[in-house]
Amino acid sequence: MKLIILILFSFLSMSNAYAELTAFQIMKKNDAQLKVQDEQVSVRMRLINKQNDVRERTILISTKTDNNELQSSLIKFKSPKNVAGTGLLTVENLNNDDDQWLYLPALKRSRRISAANQSDSFMGTDFSYEDLSTENLEEYSYSLLGEEIINGTKHYKIEAIANNEETLNESGYSRRLLWIESTNYILAKAFYFNKAGQHVKTLIAENIRPVSGTDVSRSHKVTMKNLKTGHQTQLTYEDYLINKGLSSNQFSMRSLERGW
């Protein structure tokens, strides 16, 4: 009898520990750690094809979160010359899809990225416009599939599936598998599945550590690989600046279309 009680107690203890956080709560923590007051980082981009030919670009990514926890971001290309000045402005909206505008200096105008274009490749990279949007957690169902140890650290393994027809139709994915680090809630790995259920892309985040002088952790290298084409996009992040007081004016159409 004592043995049975001990076994039941151990089982309940393990169950309670495992149920400390739901998948949705974990994703809320992931979302919260991304939304600092403002952030800016320089990025070296490498586009690598199946034959290991490499094209290099440099970009600057800026983000700002308003008092309603809504985030705006601006991606501007700095080099090479043929893409310098190209920019993507993303503005998160409450209860609506993000607004996204792409500015192409050669055309000297911005075009709005529609919902139908969300699965398109962004500037020849392995990231789609959807990948660069903020995620409305209310539009997805999250399931905690378990825990995995990666590089000695516990990660939560979560499945994400759109919970409404509109979001599912606009997305290029049927589902995603996400690995969230348990200590800082940073996304460390993700598998992306197309509408046919095939695993088509993998994201790996590396060198996750606190940004100097802050308690905010960030990955310093991210690789997105297209499993069908063998093409991959590598991003190396340098010189993070956190909460330095970026102006809201930097996230406007005027700023998007302004050259260097």
Res 18: pLDDT:
45
Neighbours of 61 (CB within 10 A): 18
Res 20: pLDDT:
84
DSSP summary character for residue 8: H
User: Phi then psi for 143, rounded to 5 degrees?
Assistant: -125, 130
What pLDDT, in 10s, does the model give residues 96-130?
Answer: 889 999 999 999 999 999 988 999 999 999 999 99
Closest CA to 23 of 134, 145, 163: 145
Given a contact cutoff of 8 angstroms between Cβ atoms, the answer to whether 105 and 111 are in contact is no
Residue 76 CB contacts under 8 Å (≥ 6 apart), including other chains: 59, 60, 62, 85, 86, 87, 260
Res 140: pLDDT:
97
**Which residues of the chain are under the pLDDT cut of 50?**
3, 5-9, 11-18
Burial class (CB in 10 A: 0-12, 13-18, 19+), 252: middle
What pLDDT, in 10s, does the model give residues 167-190?
Answer: 999 999 999 999 999 999 999 999
| Domain range 23-257, its CATH number among 3.20.20.10, 2.50.20.10, 3.40.50.300, 3.30.360.10 | 2.50.20.10
Provide the strand spans (E) within the chain.
Answer: 38-48, 54-65, 71-79, 87-93, 96-104, 109-112, 140-150, 153-162, 175-181, 187-193, 199-206, 209-210, 217-218, 221-226, 232-242
Residue corresponding to tokens 């990660």:
155
